[in-house]
Structure 1
């Protein structure tokens, strides 16, 4: 018995170690955490190092991660918001399932498979992986975007589709299932009763229950209650013959307007993350490497063809539903794989005698490989250049319509930073010419009385039309560092006598701007961060005279930092005057041969060595 417990503990340690090693490595390589979990599962599974022999047992437990994930998603979906998405759910979602299912069914039938086999193989692959798609959306911060919400809507419809598909398996079974019409009606009645009970409990019972637990002050009981809600909803739906994931999602939706929504989300989050990672590792363990090696031509061709056909169907539907080309391509790349419900459908088809065991094994390998390839396809999509679609200039004036201007200030970029920066100039009656490349921003600014022209500051003709050569100063307030640097280079090359002031992003961006010849730069968080730190010290009781000394010390250290970064004394002094700031890091590194440092820098280095109080390197700010 002790040996068995020891073996279980070894497996737990192995799972944790594999995830801890693989996920950061894959994320560092830009491949995402999903592919890291899949690779870790493959490495420790029955076809790798063999720490696990039964990946289905791991998947059975890890499915709770998908359940909890959908519960958290449901918490973000108020019923009114979900009702507003009904066109995407039953419009785009149903159309995508029908089109992709028809294309893949036709492909299988043309290849000589019986129609029932072709249909179920196709429909299993049509159901995208909710876990993988949602994880990628979450990592990229796209869950709450309009395009992300459309994808979520389609995923919900696909999750719902597993219920009628399992019923179709029973209908297509070549052998009698032993059931009767009466038993099927009883099953349907149980499903409806489960849904009604879940809605009633979620709507009228759970909020009073959580209020009672909150008043009791038992934090661990609140966590236990949150788990009870998720698992109880999943169990109720499973007992009714429905999807556990849909039960958890429905419970989340019902609680989305509860005052305990954020508390529930915080309680579930640690379990959700761990179990979802375990699910991906279970999928990786399920990949039969021996089968792939034996039938690799068939499996590889099937993966490529099925993903290509499904992606083409998704692209067609997305364009039919008025999605932009970029959004349609992104959706096709993100949803082109088979999903976890395919395993359920294929297992049911095999048990019913529709699939042969070898077909089931090949299709399962195809689905697993398609899931593993999805992060790579999405990463490749990010390398594509942005489409050169013409902007919507309806009601927007271009820079060529500015006309002759003199003695003005030219501002390039009118986002949050530019809007605040312009207020002081306008208060003094200074004439500002503003150009911006975002037409929606131009229209929004017009609603507040601002006259903003459309123009790309990286184009020389736009700069000439905007009067850059006659401007008292050019303020570059664009959001993207590479855009800002390109504009500064062009301005200093064509209009060297015009002062150029630029918004900087981080330390490397500061160095690039200085090399481009910028006259003034300010990192976007500089003044707010210094003011925030000063306020914190004041709140902690520091004397006012000490606050100025501390800020001066930070700036003095920054001057030394800039010099050590390879800048000359004059540039470092200018950066100091402009209020530049760097994250502190050790100043005791050896100087380059022949490098002369100022006395002030030598003093800072000596002080740092003596006090040993500087922080280590962090992310640039």
Structure 2
């Protein structure tokens, strides 16, 4: 019971620290990352309220795992293949050159020798995926040219941790016993990747189809977490990183119709765990080590960041980046990374260098992380003004499936016809629908449609509502349409909304809500049907079109009057021909009904029928 109380109190302190520090630092223009770091340092090393920083750090690293999964969802295999030069060319060059330079400087300064300097140098060459991607997301730069190149470098660095961890036993003073050969380890890794690809191709989509049919949202969330954690665990057991497993799972689901729903379900967990990760970095900072090695750290941190920035700038310029993009990348990735913690801890355990040296390296990495937001802000001062408007990579429909010209919510008969016009006009359309059966059927006809609940803000964001030029609400149920429109108006007041209306009363309600355009689902089809019937009865085609256009004008004029005066206004504009009832059996007495009364009755009946 006492342990439970401690856990609760620590959780409350961390939540309170995040709630206070993050908005404060954001308001000061320093970014939320520094806020989380400051809160962690204050709660842990300064106030000594939480001393298990490293344990929290291990748990919170799941935030990085979830982040890589979401990044994978944004990358179809075809786009990943297009980025291969940046990943394996630029990324490999950065790790090798930066690691070699830092290893030489460490050995030259006498801090470490031989194997120790190599492990330390290459460990410091790795950057923080969590910090860099968080900064890119806060600045909406994830899909810019420099953002994509920075991500390519980070992806290769995540791959590089595998061989770096593999060589530690070879450098150890007393190599631990290993029952498997390097060839067997490689075979296990390949088998795990192959199994993951097979599961992604043949199991995941059918699994989500079955769950979606049940309509149980909590089960969908559980399934999303199971996929991410299962893939991550499989890769870890195979000797690869958990983050890499989650990333591969995301890539495999990038073409799935359920990707937006998955992204929306995972995003809250990713956000909370990443915030916890940054706070755990602050909690694990050893102030005593910093104090004892203050001079070394004061020299090492700027040297580390300067070397990495210069190497990154030079490589980016040599591979075709403009000055501004190279500066941004150089000052976005100058810090040490979270995988450095793993590498240094493993090296100390294997006897490559002492535990004190590991603590010193961890402190250097932590402080370099803390200075990253400042370095990113400094990049703005070093950019050329004439090139400030960097050209963004167009996030086309085939590439990411989000950010299209039109976000269409609902894909029943009405929306299917409307989408044909848009697609024929060369416009990109992102379609989401909450019916698993409809998603599956539409996909068989080649439509790019995704499973998702349009009444959820997180799903709309994942589907790219922030970049859509028009939001087309084509849902069938009136109450669902109203809920979506109210949500979009509240969160995106400048969004242009085109809506499918249920009937005349709903049209008036939608106009009162301020939609940009609405259309009754049966209005135009009724007009066309009436016109064709007239033509079949012998009316000239031009005359029938004129009559149809007149009815359309009268209807719009009535709607304008009804907006101002109520539903009964404008009845005189209706074409009506009241009919006197002729009973089959002659009544015992004559009952007269004034024509105007019949007209009123017919008008009211029409209004109710609509």
TM-score category (smaller protein): 0.5 to 0.7
Q: Distance in 1 between matches of 2:68 and 2:514?
A: 45
**C-alpha contact 1:103 1:310 (8 A) present in aligned 2:** no
Selected match of 2:347 from 324, 349, 352 = 349
Q: Distance in 1 between matches of 2:182 and 2:73?
A: 33
Change over 3 Å in CA distance of 1:71–1:385 after alignment to 2? closer
Aligned-pair RMSD on alpha carbons?
2.7
**C-alpha contact 1:534 1:547 (8 A) present in aligned 2:** no
The alpha-carbon deviation at position 337 of structure 1 amounts to 0.4
**C-alpha contact 2:53 2:283 (8 A) present in aligned 1:** yes
Of 116-125 and 377-386, more deviation after overlay is shown by 377-386
The alpha-carbon deviation at position 115 of structure 1 amounts to 2.2
Match of 2:244 in 1: 246
- Equivalent residues in 2 for 1:189-204, closer than 5 Å: 189-204=187-202
Q: Distance in 2 between matches of 1:383 and 1:173?
A: 45
Selected match of 2:374 from 373, 376, 379 = 376
1:468-521: CA deviation from partner (whole Å, max 9, x where unpaired): xxxxxxxxxxxxxxxxxxxxxxxxxxxxxxxxxxxxxxxxxxxxxxxxxxxxxx
- Equivalent residues in 2 for 1:228-239, closer than 5 Å: 228-239=226-237
Match of 1:84 in 2: 82
Q: Distance in 2 between matches of 1:346 and 1:527?
A: 50
1:581-601: CA deviation from partner (whole Å, max 9, x where unpaired): xxxxxxxxxxxxxxxxxxxxx
Selected match of 1:310 from 304, 308, 311 = 308
The alpha-carbon deviation at position 108 of structure 1 amounts to 1.2
The alpha-carbon deviation at position 238 of structure 1 amounts to 0.6
Match of 1:100 in 2: 98
- Equivalent residues in 2 for 1:109-508, closer than 5 Å: 109-112=107-110, 113-179=112-178, 182-384=180-382, 386-388=384-386
Residue 27 of structure 2 is aligned to residue 28 of structure 1: yes
Q: Distance in 1 between matches of 2:250 and 2:497?
A: 41
Match of 1:474 in 2: none
Q: Distance in 2 between matches of 1:529 and 1:219?
A: 29
Change over 3 Å in CA distance of 1:538–1:133 after alignment to 2? closer
Change over 3 Å in CA distance of 1:230–1:544 after alignment to 2? same
The alpha-carbon deviation at position 176 of structure 1 amounts to 2.9
Q: Distance in 2 between matches of 1:346 and 1:528?
A: 49
The alpha-carbon deviation at position 58 of structure 1 amounts to 0.3
**C-alpha contact 1:56 1:286 (8 A) present in aligned 2:** yes
| Higher RCO structure (Cα 8 Å, ≥6 apart) | 2
Change over 3 Å in CA distance of 1:390–1:175 after alignment to 2? closer
1:159-191: CA deviation from partner (whole Å, max 9, x where unpaired): 0000000111111112132225x4443333322
The alpha-carbon deviation at position 223 of structure 1 amounts to 0.5
Change over 3 Å in CA distance of 1:48–1:215 after alignment to 2? same
Q: Distance in 2 between matches of 1:361 and 1:547?
A: 71
The alpha-carbon deviation at position 142 of structure 1 amounts to 0.8
Residue 7 of structure 2 is aligned to residue 14 of structure 1: no
Q: Distance in 1 between matches of 2:514 and 2:103?
A: 70
Q: Distance in 1 between matches of 2:494 and 2:158?
A: 49
Change over 3 Å in CA distance of 1:528–1:374 after alignment to 2? closer
Gaps of 5+ in 1: 393-524, 550-621
Compute the TM-score of the two structures, normalised by the length of structure 1.
Answer: 0.63
Of 171-180 and 333-342, more deviation after overlay is shown by 171-180
Change over 3 Å in CA distance of 1:538–1:143 after alignment to 2? closer
Q: Distance in 2 between matches of 1:528 and 1:361?
A: 51
Change over 3 Å in CA distance of 1:530–1:272 after alignment to 2? closer
Change over 3 Å in CA distance of 1:344–1:538 after alignment to 2? closer
Q: Distance in 2 between matches of 1:536 and 1:37?
A: 44
Q: Distance in 1 between matches of 2:367 and 2:126?
A: 15
Q: Distance in 1 between matches of 2:267 and 2:347?
A: 34
Compute the TM-score of the two structures, normalised by the length of structure 2.
Answer: 0.64
Gaps of 5+ in 2: 391-491, 500-508, 519-555, 566-610
The alpha-carbon deviation at position 304 of structure 1 amounts to 0.8
